[in-house]
A and B are shown apart, each in its own frame.
Chain A
Amino acid sequence: MNDVLDSAAQNPGAAQVPLRPLGKVLAVTSGKGGVGKTFVSANLAAALAKRGHKVLVLDADLGLANLDVVLNLYPKITLHDVFTGKATLEEAILPAPGGFSVLLAGSGMVEYSRLTSEVRNEFLRVMNSLVPNYDVVILDTGAGISDVVLFAVSLASEVLMVATPEPTSLTDAYATIKVLVGQQQRQTVRVIINQATRPGSGAAITNQLQQVLDRFVVAGLNQPIRLIHMGDIPVDPEVRQAIMRRQLMMQATPGCPAGMALTQIARNLEESVIPRPA
């Protein structure tokens, strides 16, 4: 019996995560893939940079994210080289179009898709040296709830859940929120609805998610969970255009409806979680 108590208390994995983010670390995640996580990460970073914040985006999907494709950047030195000790962290950080910094994982990182204690420690080391140097660090995480995703999210001070109004996306977003609440005791999750088809539909969807959570999840807990709707990004032909042209939408057409929505989300974040730039 004592063995059980001790092993749970010492918890070898959790003992490695004493990190208290000094700056603001935002994890952009979603249950389902293909809902625009990387699009939101990159363009939100550009929107925040435009408002005077020093922002870095980290490919926390460890090479499986399409951040390099979205930004049209294919660097020689990546996070993989930092993890393997072939390059310093400073060498791997690049300026991205849109006025923010980016740390790409590189294709070699696929072998790190398994969360070993080595990956944990390297990840923590990188985060600890990054966070003090930026106003905002955005973690572009993978889809789903793999160990790597959950670990990356556990390092964030805020979770931005991206979902589309589709049933599959909502189901997966809901399932992910349940896991985050259950495993990481998250009490607040911020929701961004991408590809919204009608004004106000995002708020309705968030409200719906909140109701289902209250009824099925909160009932079994002794703490409330609060979903905060951060905004909707409307369906916008400019988004598709920018993606096809390999341009960052916030740079090509910042005044389009989707661009204005992202600027508004950046403003909402400033009001709630990020201090305004000095």
Chain B
Amino acid sequence: MFSTGFFARFHYPVLKSTVAPPSTSLIDLPDLRLDNACALLEHDARNSQPQRDESPTEYLQRVIDSLCELSLKDPLTGLGNRRHFLSALERQIETVARSGESVLLLMLDIDHFKSINDTHGHLAGDQVLRTIAHCLARCVRPVDTVARYGGEEFAIILPNCRPLFGLALAERIRRAVAELSVAVSPLLTIQATISIGGAYAPEWVRSTTELWIERADTQLYRAKANGRNQACIDQPQELSVSAEEKGLLFSHLATDNANPFESGQDNVTNRVNA
């Protein structure tokens, strides 16, 4: 779920190693305590032990990188967590402010998730969360960010997504989830649906993550209120005038052309039509 580009943006402080030959013991930093970090990494099924061919710097770098990755990941689903999501959203706002690119934010919420938990137990609920998370990750492009926002709520950031495609895309995701059967046990499969709310970042404007999420949430609320298992998108504001609307708007100009610009006193008037 993590693109390498994201991590490349971080500049890790380089711990200067004065010892030239690679060593498996950290002789320079005798007070360094990595036990907790190693336990965390082991828990996530990662190799936390120094490797034979690794210098102390390389080893520490690897531990720090792994910890950073862990701190941005949701342990249950493997998706980005809320911290990862917010920093990605913040970066998109900067991009939009400079480039005017259209970026879509989707907020997704599993319908009646509480009753799944209550009826089938929390393990079944977790299974539903994991299966839907994988499905969402499969539905989008590598440049998109899929994250678990919290509880049964997910978020997807889609850079460079044309306003024309927003609703169709959200619908495709909604359908993909609705078609899932979550095999909880050999005898039980659960079908779950999601509601989706989406909002585009206002183009050329440096908005805030709060306002953007608020607008997507409003649409999600609309989708819920309209009966769930549907997608509602707040269309971008600047592009919201269709060709049809424009045609009707400008029909007065045609008549203006028929009576070209009138010169003389009649043209300059103080008559006001209230």
Contacts and interface: CB of A to CB of B under 8 A. Distances in A.
Interface in A230-265: 230-232, 234-236, 257, 260-261, 264-265
With a 10 A CB-CB cut-off, give which of A8, A203, A205 has the most chain B CB atoms: A8
Contacts of B250: 167, 170
B246 A264 contact: no
Contacts of A12: 210, 214
Interface in B224-274: 224, 237-238, 240-242, 244-246, 248-253, 256, 259, 261-262, 266-274
A174 interface: yes
A212 B245 contact: yes
By size class, the interface of chain B is: 35 or more
Interface stretch (B22-30, B69-77, B81-89, B110-118): B110-118
A212 B202 contact: no
B249 A208 contact: yes
Interface stretch (A98-106, A109-117, A154-162): A109-117
Contacts of B17: none
Contacts of B238: 144-145, 175
A199 interface: yes
Contact of A232 (B220, B266, B272): B272
Given A8-B217, A198-B267, A231 B240 contact: no
Interface string B82-111: 000000000000000000000000000101
Contact of B220 (A4, A114, A116, A202): A4
A221 interface: no
Contact of B251 (A201, A203, A208): A208
A275 B27 CA distance: 83
A231 B273 contact: yes
Interface string B134-166: 000000000000000011110000000000000
Interface in A173-210: 174-175, 178-179, 197-205, 208-209
B214 A11 contact: yes
B221 A4 contact: yes
Contact of B208 (A2, A11, A115): A115
Given A3-B150, A8-B217, A11-B214, A116 B208 contact: yes
Contacts of A167: 246, 249-250, 253
Contacts of A216: 242, 244-245
A179 B202 CA distance: 12
A147 B207 contact: yes
A223 B248 CA distance: 22
A68 B245 CA distance: 37
B202 A236 contact: no
Contact of A145 (B224, B237, B245, B253): B237
A88 interface: no
B246 A171 contact: yes
A98 B252 CA distance: 36
Contact of A200 (B220, B249, B273): B273
Interface SS of chain B: helix, strand, loop or mixed? Answer: loop
A222 interface: no
Nearest to A269: B274
Contact of A178 (B109, B150, B240): B240
Nearest to B113: A1
A1 B112 contact: yes
B224 A4 contact: yes
A205 B237 contact: no
Given A114-B208, A174-B245, A197-B267, A261 B240 contact: no
B178 interface: no
B187 interface: no
Contact of B274 (A144, A165, A229): A229
A114 B205 CA distance: 8
Contacts of A200: 271, 273
B208 A175 contact: no
A7 interface: yes
A78 B214 CA distance: 32
A1 B241 contact: no
With a 10 A CB-CB cut-off, give which of B238, B241, B269, B270 has the most chain A CB atoms: B270
Given A1-B112, A231-B274, A271-B274, 20 more contacts: A5-B221, A8-B218, A8-B221, A12-B210, A115-B211, A144-B204, A147-B202, A147-B208, A171-B241, A175-B237, A175-B240, A197-B256, A198-B262, A198-B266, A200-B271, A215-B248, A264-B272, A264-B274, A265-B272, A268-B272
23 contacts: A1-B114, A1-B152, A3-B109, A114-B206, A144-B238, A146-B202, A147-B207, A175-B241, A179-B237, A179-B240, A198-B267, A203-B273, A208-B251, A208-B252, A212-B249, A229-B273, A230-B274, A231-B272, A232-B272, A232-B273, A234-B267, A257-B270, A264-B272
